[in-house]
Amino acid sequence: MKHPKEEKTFVMVKPDGVRKGLIGEVIKRFEQHDLKIVALEMFQPDFGQIDNHYPKKEEWITRLGEKTKTTYEKYGYDLLEDFGTDDTSKIGPEVRKWLVDYMLSAPLVKMIVQGVHAVDVIRKLAGDTLPYRAAVGTIRGDFSIDSPALANKEKRAVANIIHCSETPEEAEHEIKHWFGDAKIYNYKRFGVDE
Ligand code: GDP
């Protein structure tokens, strides 16, 4: 068993976060909550990196399509008119493509963040996936009001400032994918580690 202070998670500032000048704000919020940045880099991803970041499993892709269908039904939009189909297994790949295009549209900032319950605490600080629904005080709730109703109409991914791992297993996988053998730093935070 790892020490609770050694839990690590993976975070990426997405193109809208970078272009809104929120890199510092995002890092500040993590550090304010006694979390420690142990690796950090700005980079321009290539297609393969982003394509491999998002799951390719049919189940995950169809779920994206189902989410889109739910939004269309909720707001009374016509799925057939915009997608030419109401089959979620065909809509899913289209939404996944929007996600890949979005993630390639500006440089990203990737980081590994460490601390007690790092995965859950960062998800809490990030807020709901859909910014219009995210609580005030969270990163997504404070800096975006984007919604799938608007994003789907504009044929693009929901812009929600950051990506962060959902589970410790996902964090481990994403850290390996994005950092490989790169150095993870170890230092003592005042008031946290000593
Ligand atoms: P996350 O783990 O909170 O990022 O959320 P998901 O894994 O469920 O979704 C991945 C990404 O897809 C989100 O961060 C959004 O950028 C985008 N997204 C999620 N749901 C929708 C949707 O209904 N429509 C569109 N256009 N994009 C979505």
pLDDT value of residue 106: 98
Ligand 1 binding pocket includes 160 (Cβ within 6 Å): yes
Evaluate whether 111 touches 39 at the Cβ level (below 8 Å): yes
> pTM score > 0.75 for this model?
yes
pLDDT value of residue 8: 98
SS3 183: coil
Mean pLDDT in residue range 31-44? 98
pLDDT value of residue 194: 85
Evaluate whether 151 touches 157 at the Cβ level (below 8 Å): yes
Residue 53 CB coordination number (10 Å): 18
Domains and CATH numbers, the chain: 1-44+106-150+159-188 (3.30.70.141)
Angle, vertex CA 158, rays to CA 120 and CA 135, nearest 5:
45
Best residue among 72, 99, 133 to mutate for probing ligand 1's pocket (most ligand atoms within 8 Å of CB) is 99
* Residue nearest atom 22 in ligand 1 by C-alpha distance: 148
The per-residue pLDDT for range 61-117, each reduced to its tens digit, is: 999 999 999 989 998 989 999 899 999 999 999 999 999 999 999 999 999 999 999
Res 187 pLDDT > 90: yes
Evaluate whether 8 touches 111 at the Cβ level (below 8 Å): no
- Please pick, among 53, 117, 163, 173, the residue that the annotation labels catalytic: 163
The per-residue pLDDT for range 161-185, each reduced to its tens digit, is: 999 999 999 999 999 999 999 999 9
From the CA of 149, how far away is ligand 1's center (Å)? 12
From the CA of 129, how far away is ligand 1's center (Å)? 6
From the CA of 144, how far away is ligand 1's center (Å)? 14
Angle, vertex CA 99, rays to CA 12 and CA 164, nearest 5:
25
Q: d(Cα 84, Cα 81) in Å, to the nearest integer?
A: 6
* Residue nearest atom 5 in ligand 1 by C-alpha distance: 129
SS3 163: strand
Ligand 1 binding pocket includes 138 (Cβ within 6 Å): no
Res 1 pLDDT > 90: no
33 noted as active-site residue: no
